[in-house]
Amino acid sequence: MTEQPDTFVRELADIPAVEVISRAAVMLMSSAAEKLGLADEDPDTSSRRDLDEARRVITALAGLVTASVEYLGPHAGPIREGLQSLQRAFREASAHPDEPGKGPGEKYTGPVY
C-alpha cells in the first residue's frame, strides 16, 4: 500500500520565506499573549499567566523580527506593532517593571515605553 500525499499539505520548499517567517512570528505572538494572560477575561487573575515564559517568547520574537525585518516587506509594520504591544503589556503586567531598554526583547528593538 502506498501513501498518497495529502493535496492540502504544501512542501516546505514551496512556501515563500516571508510566509514562513510571518507564521513563526504570529505563533510567537500568540504564545506570548497566552503567557501574559491576555486571552482571559481578566489577565490579572489568569491561571495561564507566566511572565518568565512570556519574557522568553517575547525576546525570541524580537530577535526574529529584528533579524528578518528587511525581508518582511509590508508585513514588517504590523508585526513590529504587535511586538511592541506585547512588550508594553509585559511591562504593565510586571509587579516591578524593567527599566526602559531592559525589558523582554529590548536589547534587539531598543527601549519600548
The stretch 88-93 carries a mean pLDDT of: 96
Contact in structure between 61 and 86 (CB atoms under 8 Å): yes
Mean pLDDT of the chain: 92
The better pLDDT of the pair 30, 8 is held by 30
Q: Which residue has the cell 531598554?
A: 101
Tell me which amino acid residue 4 is. Answer: Q
pLDDT at residue 7 in the model: 54
Residue 70 burial (10 A CB sphere; 0-12, 13-18, 19+): exposed
pTM: 0.87
DSSP annotation of 37: T
Residue 71 has pLDDT above 60, yes or no: yes
